[in-house]
Amino acid sequence: MRYSQMLVPTLREEPADAEVISHKLMLRAGMIRKLAAGIYTVLPLGVRVIHKVERIIREEMNRAGAQEVVMPCVLPADLWKESGRWDHYGKELLRIKDRHDRDYCFGPTHEEVITDLARREIRSYRQLPINLYQIQTKFRDEVRPRFGVMRAREFVMKDAYSFDADEAGAEQSYERMYDAYTRIFQRCGLRFRAVEADTGLIGGRFSHEFMVLADTGEDAIVSCGECAYAANIERAEIGDIAEATEEKPTKLERVQTPDKKSVEEVTAFLGIPPERLVKTIVFETEKGAMAALVRGDHEINEAKLRRHLGVTQLELAGDHVVADCTHAPKGFAGPVGLDLRIVADYALQGMRNVVTGANEPDTHLINVNVERDFQVDEFADIRLAQEGDPCPRCTGQLQISRGIEVGHIFKLGIKYSEAMGATYLDQEGNERSLIMGCYGIGVGRTAAAAIEQNHDENGIIFPLAIAPFHVLIVPVNNKDAQIMEAAEDLYQSLSEKGAEVILDDRDERPGVKFKDADIIGIPLRLTVGEKNLKQGKVEIKARGSGEVTLVDLQEVPERVMGMVSAWLKDSCFLE
């Protein structure tokens, strides 16, 4: 490619409305432009990167035995009504009407469509297992689209769906996708970690998120410093720590705490550390209201509580519900005399003489003791993990880091096949529900995550496997015929050898060319300059390490091809 003929509108100045580095750099490198909130046009350089990511995904999905299909973007509401999601998906679902006033939506995900295909086309166990995937445009009307293509409203996803005859098969399909994802993100040159993710009511270990490690990541990852345990914060379990105390229960007392509601206010007022206070939080669920207890210095993990209760809806109770249940305004709820199901966090086991709300306005109780003063229905692991908490699998401690979710694999079971009647006939001729799994990768987000991990103050440093080009040739002076001839020759011979080359043939000052080279982050830069060329040499510079080597003009193609294939091998495990 010739730079002069390519649309690469690089920007010198910092884009004002970009919060994370990958978004800034994708704008500055002229890879993307915003059309509307969360809706982007991808420019030629960006397209090349996206295509590389897609190619790696396709190769690994095909290798894992999956087959590519393409499903529509615009989906009839009827299918979504069958699965029940037309009513439950909420505002993220972009609903549209056609000219006949019929309901459609722009697909945010394709379980319904694929299940419909499966129930029509799969009849017998002989057709199983089968895994179908697509790389296709999704729309989710996110409340807060941000970070460019990282959290967009319109975005490209690879989504795959597996169908199996039995649990063992479904587990195998899941493992196969786990391995394929590992290869995909390795080949993209990413530092990532697969972490256990919340499975909602399905339970078990059958959901993993592939997290690219980055401080700017939106997700918190909990991992053990000593064993392989790693989980999304929503999912992360905590090893049991409640130690029995020697403390003897003392006399229960009522104290006035006028207008003191928050943990900080109450503990400061009473002069106690936050861990001596027990928070009583009232939730509403489809099974009715309940109260959850956690220590003042801990936070409730709603995903864990939801799973423990076996409910799908769990919301903080509104003021009137709190008032009805506790006879006090919010901030003064407590477990003593409370007529609700009470679930307490494990850390409260054996706690003595704690402070709680008194279920009376402006009043707290001190020296509250479980069993003597109130009963707990169950103790459970219902709080958010914190740095230093004990590991649930070993004696190690948990650490918290941040990540970007680039992929998600999930065992669906028979949720959709049962709702939509997708069955097959087993060997004995019995009709059984297909067992499904679903597997997503955000294509644009993966490219953005790679930039988040690989850049410096001057611009992007693309991993070779997903770089828009392998090599950038910079002739420093377009007016110098010798320089231009050498640059053209290199361009020809490298292209013939299979390298992806861009020649900066623009009539610009060298400073401008070098600045752009740094911003767009092509892994290798060949500088053809007057002085070196007189000695028959060309400079090869690695964008990542900054290492510069002077190489004889004739040897350049071989040297460059050697570097390219060595790097490709490094991140790509093709045998």
Ligand X SMILES: Nc1ncnc2c1ncn2[C@@H]1O[C@H](COP(=O)(O)OP(=O)(O)O)[C@@H](O)[C@H]1O
Binding site for ligand X (CB under 6 A): 109, 140, 142, 151-152, 155, 157, 405-408, 440-442, 444-445
Give the nearer residue to ligand X in terms of CB position, either 152 or 564.
Answer: 152
Pick what 572 binds: Zn ion, ligand X, Mg ion, none; C-beta below 5 to 8 Å, kind-dependent. Answer: none
Closest approach of Cβ 154 to ligand X, in Å? 8
Q: Is 389 in the site for Zn ion (CB under 5 A)?
A: no
Closer of 406 and 461 to ligand X (Cβ)? 406
Q: Using CB distances below 5 to 8 A depending on partner kind, what does residue 543 bind out of ligand X, Zn ion, Mg ion, none?
A: none
User: Beta partners for 397?
Assistant: 390
Helix (H) or strand (E) holding 62: helix 44-63
Binding partner of residue 394 among Zn ion, ligand X, Mg ion, none, CB cut-off 5 to 8 Å per kind = Zn ion
User: Which does residue 321 bind out of ligand X, Mg ion, Zn ion, none, counting CB within 5 to 8 angstroms by kind?
Assistant: none
- Shortest spacing between CB 531 and Zn ion, in angstroms: 58
- Give the nearest distance from C-beta 403 to ligand X in angstroms: 11
At 317, which amino acid appears? A
Distance CA 546, CA 541 (A): 6
Q: Select 408 or 411, whichever has its Cβ closest to Mg ion.
A: 408
With CB atoms as reference, the residue minimizing the distance to ligand X is 442
Least distance in angstroms from the C-beta of 440 to Mg ion: 7
- The least distance separating ligand X from the CB of residue 109, rounded to whole angstroms, comes to 6
217 or 440: whose CB is closer to ligand X?
A: 440
What does 241 bind: Mg ion, Zn ion, ligand X, none (CB cut-off 5 to 8 Å by kind)?
Answer: none
> What's the rounded Cα separation, in Å, for the pair 574 and 566?
12
Nearest to 529 by CA among 483, 490, 494: 483
Contacted by 393, from ligand X, Zn ion, Mg ion, none: CB < 5 to 8 Å by type: Zn ion
443 vs 466: CA distance, rounded Å: 12
- In this structure, the strands spanning 471-475 and 501-503 are parallel
Give the residue carrying structure tokens 């195998």. Answer: 172
Mark the segment that binds Mg ion (CB under 5 A) among 85-93, 275-283, 403-411, 501-509. 403-411
- Name residues contacting Zn ion, limited to 176-235 (CB under 5 A): 224, 226-227, 229
Q: Minimal CA–CA distance to 54: which of 161, 175, 156, 182?
A: 156
Considering beta carbons, is residue 444 or 521 the nearer one to ligand X?
A: 444
C-alpha pair distances (Å), 513 with each of 271, 478, 508, 526:
64, 11, 7, 12
Is the Cβ–Cβ distance between 537 and 552 less than 8 Å?
yes
| Closer Cβ to ligand X, 204 or 546, answer by number | 204
- In sequence order, which residues have a C-beta less than 8 Å from that of residue 518 and are 6 or more positions away? 458, 459, 543
Cβ neighbours of residue 501 closer than 8 Å, sequence gap 6 or more: 1, 469, 470, 471, 472, 473, 490, 491, 494, 495
SS3 199: coil
DSSP 428: T
Determine the interface stretch with Mg ion among 4-12, 21-29, 400-408, 505-513 (rule: CB under 5 A): 400-408
Binding span for Zn ion by CB under 5 A among 342-350, 382-390, 393-401, 474-482: 393-401
- Build a one-symbol-per-residue string for 301-340: x at contacts with Mg ion by CB under 5 A, - elsewhere: ----------------------------------------
Q: Which among 77-85, 372-380, 392-400, 506-514 is the span making contact with Zn ion, rule CB under 5 A?
A: 392-400
Asked if 128 and 96 count as a contact pair (C-beta separation under 8 A), the reply is: no
Within 10 angstroms of residue 499's Cβ, the number of other Cβ atoms is: 20
Can residue 408 be called a binding residue for Mg ion (CB under 5 A)?
A: yes
Q: Would the CA dihedral through 9, 10, 13, 17 be positive or negative?
A: positive
d(CA 173, CA 162): 7
Query: Strand 341-345 to strand 378-380: parallel, antiparallel, or no bridges (unpaired)?
Result: parallel
- In SS3 terms, 204-226 reads as CCCEEEEEEECCCCCEEEEEECC
Min separation Cβ 235 and Mg ion, Å: 12
* Contact of 311 with 287, CB cutoff 8 Å: yes
Helix (H) or strand (E) holding 269: helix 263-270
Bridge partner list, 335:
none
Tell me: does residue 106 bind Zn ion (CB under 5 A).
Answer: no
Question: Which one of Mg ion, Zn ion, ligand X, none interacts with residue 213, CB within 5 to 8 A by kind?
Answer: none
The residue type found at 218 is E
Distance CA 113, CA 201 (A): 23
91 near Zn ion, rule: CB under 5 A: no
Q: How far apart are CA 375 and CA 369, in angstroms?
A: 9
564 membership: H or E segment, kind and range: helix 556-571
Residue nearest to Mg ion (CB): 408
Nearer CB in complex with Mg ion: 235/408? 408
CB 161, min distance to Mg ion, A = 15
Residue 407's binding partner among Zn ion, ligand X, Mg ion, none (Cβ under 5 to 8 angstroms by kind) is ligand X
Asked if 391 is part of the footprint of Zn ion (rule: CB under 5 A), the reply reads: yes
Rounded Cα–Cα distance for residues 387 and 128 (Å): 44
Q: Pick one of Zn ion, Mg ion, ligand X, none as the site partner of residue 406 (Cβ within 5 to 8 A by kind).
A: ligand X
| Minimum distance, C-beta of residue 314 to Zn ion, in the bound complex (Å) | 28
**Partner that binds at residue 379, options ligand X, Zn ion, Mg ion, none, CB closer than 5 to 8 Å by kind:** none
Residue 229 contact, options Zn ion, Mg ion, ligand X, none, Cβ 5-8 Å cut-off depending on partner type: Zn ion
- The answer to whether residue 2 forms part of the interface with Zn ion (CB under 5 A) is no
**Do residues 89 and 80 make contact, with C-beta atoms less than 8 angstroms apart?**
yes
Of residues 58 and 352, the one with the C-beta less far from ligand X: 58
Nearer CB in complex with ligand X: 463/475: 463
Smallest separation (angstroms) from ligand X to the CB of 74: 19
Is the Cβ–Cβ distance between 554 and 486 less than 8 Å?
no
Q: According to the 3-state scheme, what is the secondary structure of 96-164?
A: EECCCCCEEEECCCCHHHHHHHHHHHCCEHHHCCEEEEEEEEEECCCCCCECHHHECCEEEEEEEEEEE
Closer by beta carbon to Zn ion, 400 or else 568: 400
Q: Which chain residues interact with Mg ion by CB under 5 A?
A: 408
Q: Which chain residues interact with Zn ion by CB under 5 A?
A: 224, 226-227, 229, 391, 393-394, 396
